[in-house]
Amino acid sequence: MKEKVVLAYSGGLDTTAIIPWLKENFDYEVICCCIDCGQGEELDGLEERAKLSGASKLYIENIIDELCDEYIMPCVQANAVYENKYLLGTSMARPAIAKTLVDIARKEGATAICHGATGKGNDQIRFELGIKALAPDLKIIAPWRMTDVWTMQSREDEIEYCKAHGINLPFDASHSYSRDRNIWHISHEGLELEDPSLEPNYDNLLVLGVSPENAPDEGEYISMSFEKGIPTALNGEKMKVSEIIMKLNELGGKHGIGIVDIVENRVVGMKSRGVYETPGGTILMEAHQQLEELVLDRATMEAKKDMGNKLAQIVYEGKWFTPLCDAVKAFVTSTQEYVTGEVKFKLYKGNIIKAGTTSPYTLYNESLASFTTGDLYDHHDADGFITLFGLPLKVRAMKMAEVEANK
């Protein structure tokens, strides 16, 4: 009986060409696994294409809710943003995909998992660290790194290879943006984006929405409710997290929100330029932060900012299934106990404008914050506080003056 390999299958040209390549070079039985993370119409026609290319079976596994609840929300609660801009859309999905690939491999009794990530990118790291953490016994096959066996270097090569194996597919050799899409975002790389001196061609590039210039001239008010840091309702309507994100994508895309042009530092050491559309995610993270402003004390917010940056790095580097990741997420979860309330804002031409935030656990005290004197604050108390708070500065200044006088 032939050994089985589970192929992470997107239905694109790369992973389609990999199917006959695996059979020809390793004599594997190829089990394709497409993980539905919210790609939408990209999944249409995959079963016929996989079977036509030589796969014995295709799994299409819907993990949208799992992705939203178990991977996206911990990052939202942490405000995990990589290099101040990237909301980790691809990064968060990769460990969820790796886990599903391992589950299918165990179910099928496969001995290997294959992915189509290139040798220059981050995804090879994210997939493989996830697989190693969950199934260290499984072999990992990465064709693009096996240059002695994988000899194809272009789309033209892949198309010719498929044709030579009797596979005629609806792909052409024309180059387009390299994209990755899920419920959280869509990323764009390639073409003019490879030159940082060039402005993105947004008219051709954008998929989830419009540029701020093309957004409506009228703003739109929305409200979101949270319970313990989790969104539970949008505009008063109860929804699960995935439904809220999808609706926010629609609203955010309409108003030109969440478009980021970034040159980021990849794990493998190079800089890369890409444009990310994250309309719903940008709104959700901003709403969550607005609520935390009311609820979290200063010291917790300071520590949480450090933990958010740490989690962003952990997730970006593919280290989801690690003790450190678990520990950081546990800290973040502990901070969310009272992050409950309602946030209102206006969406307008790429902007998210505050329109009021309320919480039963707000630490904002009008008596304290008001310019008029309240019952809880005595202005005279500030005298002693400033004396002690500024004592190190005063002592140093006195010493420096003494040194200068003795020269």
Active site residues: 14, 94, 123, 178
Burial code (b: 16+ CB inside 10 Å, e: under 16) for 218-257 equals eeeebbbbbeebbbeebeeeebebbbbbebbbebbbbbbb
Which amino acid, residue 156?
E
Spatial distance between the Cα atoms of 220 and 233, rounded to a whole number of angstroms:
17
Q: Which residues contact 79 (CB under 8 A, 6 or more apart)?
A: 285, 288, 289, 292, 304, 305, 308
Which amino acid, residue 353?
I
At 199, give phi and psi (nearest 5°): -75, 140
Name the helix (H) or strand (E) containing 199: none
Which amino acid, residue 120?
K
For residue 228, give the 3-state DSSP assignment.
coil
How is residue 131 written in tokens?
A: 């697989």
Per the listing, tokens 């697989």 go with 131
* Cross-strand pairs, 8: 33
Selection from 180, 184, 181, 179 nearest residue 75 by Cα? 184
Q: What is the DSSP letter of 86?
A: B
Residue 127 exposure: Cα atoms within 13 Å on the Cβ side: 21
Q: What is the DSSP letter of 137?
A: T
Q: How many CB atoms lie within 10 A of CB 150?
A: 17
Per the listing, tokens 């419920």 go with 183
The DSSP result for 151-186, as a single string, is ---SHHHHHHHHHHTT---S--S----EEEE-SS-E
Q: How many CB atoms lie within 10 A of CB 327?
A: 13
Report the chain's terminal Cα–Cα distance, integer Å. Answer: 90
